[in-house]
């Protein structure tokens, strides 16, 4: 297993009709990293995530997870290999209580009944839910708590690679900070790739940042260097004619 990066994509392309949302992405992520993926709207971040988990079938190219090609695997088998994902749109079991949500995520881990209960309690503690909150149907939670519930489900499934698509969207600063802690906990056992726009969040987490633009990797560097990068500024502000075209 070692020797391989945990995730490597080779010339990954996803076309929707004539539009290439992901247009030849070569991304290499090493085990243990927290990688941030940024880029303006329409850069192909979410589509890339969906291609990695085969929620979309890539048009061409390869995804190598721990050195093994994922081609042809259905979504649930990719999940069993150890890739967990939080899509941009929150996806939880709204009518089930939080504990059941977490339990369903833990269930696949073939634990004994006692270990299972303990693992669920541990995750609930890690995402900061007390018993009262844990008994509530997930639908009655606040927006931030729902995000944490979903992050808890990812934690509970004990993945090797966690893909997080905008985990702090719509959160207050305090809530964002708590999310940072949860993601750090997730990173203790898993490699994390996270799509975000919040600069403070990125600065607190990422060692390395990858900028996507028009379906391609534009640049890959540390956050300070990215912030100083003229091209990145241009595409975010839409300064060049070419960049403005891409936004439309």
Q: Cα separation of 232 and 69, whole Å? A: 32
> Under the criterion CB under 8 A, does residue 41 sit at the interface with other proteins?
no
Tokens linked to 3: 């020797």
Contacts of other proteins in 145-174 (CB under 8 A) = 153, 157
Please tell me what DSSP assigns to residue 109. G
Give the x-and-dash track for 60-79 against other proteins (CB under 8 A). Answer: --------------xxxx-x
Closest of 9, 14, 53, 10 to residue 214, by C-alpha = 14
Phi, psi of 23 (to 5 degrees): -130, 70
Selected from 131, 174, 241, 248, the binder of other proteins by CB under 8 A is 131
| Residue 63: CB minimum distance to other proteins, A | 16
- Please, what is the minimum distance in Å from the beta carbon of residue 225 to other proteins? 34
The residues with which 19 forms a beta bridge, in sequence order, are 16
Of 93-101, 188-196, 200-208, 237-245, which part binds other proteins (CB under 8 A)? 93-101
**Cα–Cα distance, 76 to 93 (Å, whole number):** 17
The answer to the question of residue 105 lying near other proteins (CB under 8 A) is: yes
Q: Among residues 100 and 221, whose Cβ is nearest to other proteins?
A: 100
For other proteins, the binding residue among 11, 19, 69, 80 (CB under 8 A) is 80
Radius of gyration of the chain (CA): 18
Please, which residue, 130 or 174, has the CB nearer to other proteins?
Answer: 130
Complete DSSP assignment for 53-90: TTSS--SEEEEEETTEE-TT--HHHHHHHTEEEE-SS-
Count of chain residues binding other proteins (CB under 8 A)? 28
Residue with tokens 């993601």: 183
Tell me how far apart the alpha carbons of residues 193 and 123 are, in angstroms, rounded to a whole number: 20
- Which of 6, 36, 52, 84 binds other proteins (CB under 8 A)? It is 84
Q: Which is nearer to other proteins, 130 or 230 (CB)?
A: 130
**Interface contacts to other proteins, rule CB under 8 A:** 53, 55, 74-77, 79-80, 84-85, 87, 91-96, 100, 103-105, 107-108, 130-132, 153, 157
């Amino acid at each position: 297993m070692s020797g391989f990066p945990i995730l490597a994509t080779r010339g990954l392309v996803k076309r929707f009709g004539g539009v290439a949302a992901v247009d030849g992405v070569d991304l290499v992520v090493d085990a243990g990293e927290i990688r941030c993926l940024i880029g303006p709207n329409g850069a192909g971040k979410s589509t890339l995530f969906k291609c990695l988990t085969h929620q979309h079938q890539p048009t061409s190219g390869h995804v190598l997870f721990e050195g093994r090609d994922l081609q042809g695997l259905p979504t649930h088998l990719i999940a069993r290999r150890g890739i967990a994902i939080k899509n941009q749109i929150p996806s939880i079991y709204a009518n089930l209580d939080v504990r059941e949500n977490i339990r369903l995520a833990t269930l696949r881990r073939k634990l004994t009944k006692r270990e299972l209960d303990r693992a669920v309690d541990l995750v609930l503690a890690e995402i900061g839910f007390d018993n009262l909150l844990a008994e509530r149907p997930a639908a009655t939670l606040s927006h931030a708590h729902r995000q944490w519930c979903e992050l808890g489900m990812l934690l509970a499934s004990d993945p090797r690679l966690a893909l997080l698509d905008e985990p702090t969207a719509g959160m207050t600063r305090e809530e964002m900070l708590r999310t940072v802690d949860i993601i750090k906990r997730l990173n203790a056992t898993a490699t994390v790739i996270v799509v975000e726009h919040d600069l403070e969040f990125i600065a607190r987490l990422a060692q390395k940042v990858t900028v996507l633009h028009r379906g391609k990797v534009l640049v890959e560097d540390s956050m300070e260097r990215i912030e100083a990068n003229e091209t990145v500024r241009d595409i975010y502000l839409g300064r060049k004619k070419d960049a403005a075209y891409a936004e439309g």
